[in-house]
Structure 1
Amino acid sequence: MSFEDEWAAAKAAVAMRLNQADSTGGSTPAKGSADYVVEDDDLGDIGHAAYGLFNGLQSGGKHAGAASETAAGSLKGDGFDAGAALGEVNKTWETQVKTLLQACAHISNHLNYTKKSAKADDDWIGAQLRIIGPVAPGAEGAVPASRISQLFR
């Protein structure tokens, strides 16, 4: 099987999987297209949503912490086992909120980085392929897909 045949089969399989996925918005491949495209705006929207969640959770996730700690101390002081349990639940909640905050920050930062670096990567790859130039006499444009795999050996 030639490289072109393998490549076409792989693209068709991926296109079938992507076209069967339930879409809730964002960029989707055009009908019959085998390429999946995520626009910078989509990455920016997701990163912005993660940043918004981070900001809302920073204050919203902690609003009951002081009251829970006070209640736990009062119950524990009155000899109720529920006080120690409430204190433990509050500590676990705080840990989970911190973990979610870190995840939101990571997602936001990663998508911002991805958005900035993807264009630079694409430009570099395009420049490298233009440097290599056409592979056949009289051919125009960049290196065809069938030739790319030979350049990495």
Structure 2
Amino acid sequence: MTDVSGAGESTVHTQLNEIPAPRGGGDNSGDLSVRDDELGKLGNMAFELHGRLSNDGKHAEEATRVAKSWLTEDGMDTGSALGELQSAWETKLGTLQEACAHISNHLDFSLKAHKQDEETIETGMRNAEGKLMTVSRISEYIN
């Protein structure tokens, strides 16, 4: 206890701990927020990128095979190196395609799971007496 009044009276002070503000700004509310429209756009972008990679990522495949063949037939080590480069490219391209598919599928799953969770919460809320609360009853508590 400390004397803050100057009159010899002791007062007790309470200080609450708090979460420090995040670096770089942002909301510090700690609430989970999901925006279906944003998740949907990101999932769609990943799906489209996967499709483009399937086509555009193999654009030079045939020309590279032909060049590798010619260079190898001419006895140049460059042909072998070009073959190794093509193999590495195909591996990396496949990995990137898998990542895009994983992102797209995960966001689709997240959207569906979030909607199901919301429906469960909305239809399963009960009051203190254990009675099922309708949406209109829930609104009474919020306002």
Q: TM-score, normalized by length of structure 2?
A: 0.69
1: CA distance, partners of 2:128 / 2:77: 78
1-side partners of 2:55 and 2:113: how far apart? 32
Map of 2:24 onto structure 1? 20
Give the root-mean-square deviation of aligned CA atoms.
2.7
Aligned residue type for 1:20? G
Q: What amino acid is aligned across from residue 70 of structure 2 in structure 1? A: S
User: SS state of the match for residue 87, structure 2?
Assistant: helix
Deviation of 1:86 after TM superposition, in Å, equals 0.3
The answer to whether the aligner puts 1:112 opposite 2:83 as a matched pair is no
Runs of 4+ residues deviating >4 angstroms: 125-128
| 1:76 maps onto 2:72 in alignment | yes
Which residue pairs with 1:150 in the alignment?
Answer: none
Q: Greater helix share, 1 or 2? A: 1
Alignment match, 2:5: none
Indicate whether 1:87 and 2:83 are aligned: yes
| Structure 1: gaps (5+ residues) | 22-27, 142-153
Aligned length in residues: 116
SS class of match (2:31): coil
AA partner of residue 52 (structure 1): E
Residue 134 of structure 1 is matched in structure 2 by 128
Gaps in structure 2 of 5+ consecutive residues: 1-15, 130-136, 139-143
Question: Who wins on radius of gyration, i.e. which is larger?
Answer: 2
1:50 to 22, 46, 53: 46
> What is residue 124 of structure 1 aligned with on the other side?
120
Structure 2 CA distance, aligned partners of 1:48 and 1:77? 45
Identity across matched positions, percent? 38
